[in-house]
Structure 1
Amino acid sequence: MAHKVDVHVGKRIRQRRWLAGMTQQKLAEIVGIKFQQIQKYETGANRVSASRLWDIADALEVEVSFFFDGLKSEDEGGAPIKRDATVDLMGDKEAMDLVRSYYAIPEHQRRRLFELARVLSDVA
């Protein structure tokens, strides 16, 4: 059974790769491995070594710490101490589509859309 940290890191790799519009094949080529290995990392089936995670972070243009953001710590009884709603939200395909589309909009229009969304959310 996969360790929860490996599953979390794999999900974060997948999210970032998807937001970057990169295929598993392309990421694998950049990192110098087969795309099947990327699949295994993304599902948490295989653990990512520190050096490989460094290469993946470089290819996806993020800090290594990005892959651990939102990871829940547990107290001695195994109860979650921290919960990051952003990570849960980023696991939702619709939210990921929205974020990807948002960043495809030119910056000046994106700023106006952001302000509109903020006003609408304040009204609701």
Structure 2
Amino acid sequence: MKHPVDAHVGKRIRHRRWMVGMTQQQLADCVGIKFQQIQKYETGMNRVSASRLWDIAEALGVSISFFFEGLEGAGDQARQAEGDRITDKEALELVRSYYAIPEAQRRRLFDLARVLSEAA
């Protein structure tokens, strides 16, 4: 049975890997393991050791604390619902596309989105 913390860390690994456009195979190559092990980490079926998490964080360009963000509010249903939204593949693709837009246009798009959300 998977532990909720292992599942959370796995989701954060998958989220960050997807955000940087890296495949499971590419991440596995960076940390010197097989992609099947990345799959097991991402589903929470296998725990990630501290040293392996360090290697994964280095490969994904984040600090170790990134993988634990959101755990302190796990009991808060509103925050959990917000966190679930960002794991949606469409939302992640939108965020990745957003950051591919040049900064000046991205700022204007952000302002537009804020105005539309307030009007909804």
TM-score, length-scaled by structure 2: 0.91
How far off its partner does 1:93 sit?
1.5
Measured at CA, do residues 84 and 63 of structure 1 come closer, stay the same or move farther in structure 2, by a change above 3 Å?
farther
CA contact 2:73–2:80 (8 Å) conserved in 1? no
Structure-2 separation of matches of 1:35 and 1:49: 16
Match of 1:64 in 2: 64
How far off its partner does 1:72 sit?
4.7
5+ long unaligned stretches in structure 1: 75-79
**2:2 is aligned with 1:39:** no
Alignment coverage as a number of residue pairs: 119
State the identity %: 72
Q: Secondary structure at the match of 2:14?
A: helix
CA RMSD of aligned residues (A): 1.6
Alpha-carbon displacement from aligned partner over 1:85-121 (angstroms, at most 9, x marks no partner): 4422211122111111111111111111001111112
**2:47 is aligned with 1:51:** no
Higher relative contact order (CA 8 A, sep 6+): 2
> More helix per residue: 1 or 2?
2
CA contact 2:3–2:44 (8 Å) conserved in 1? yes
Structure-2 separation of matches of 1:30 and 1:59: 6
Q: Secondary structure at the match of 1:46?
A: coil
Alpha-carbon displacement from aligned partner over 1:45-94 (angstroms, at most 9, x marks no partner): 100001110110111001111111112567xxxxx257344422211122
TM-score, length-scaled by structure 1: 0.88
Alpha-carbon displacement from aligned partner over 1:28-54 (angstroms, at most 9, x marks no partner): 111111111101100111000011101
Match of 2:7 in 1: 7
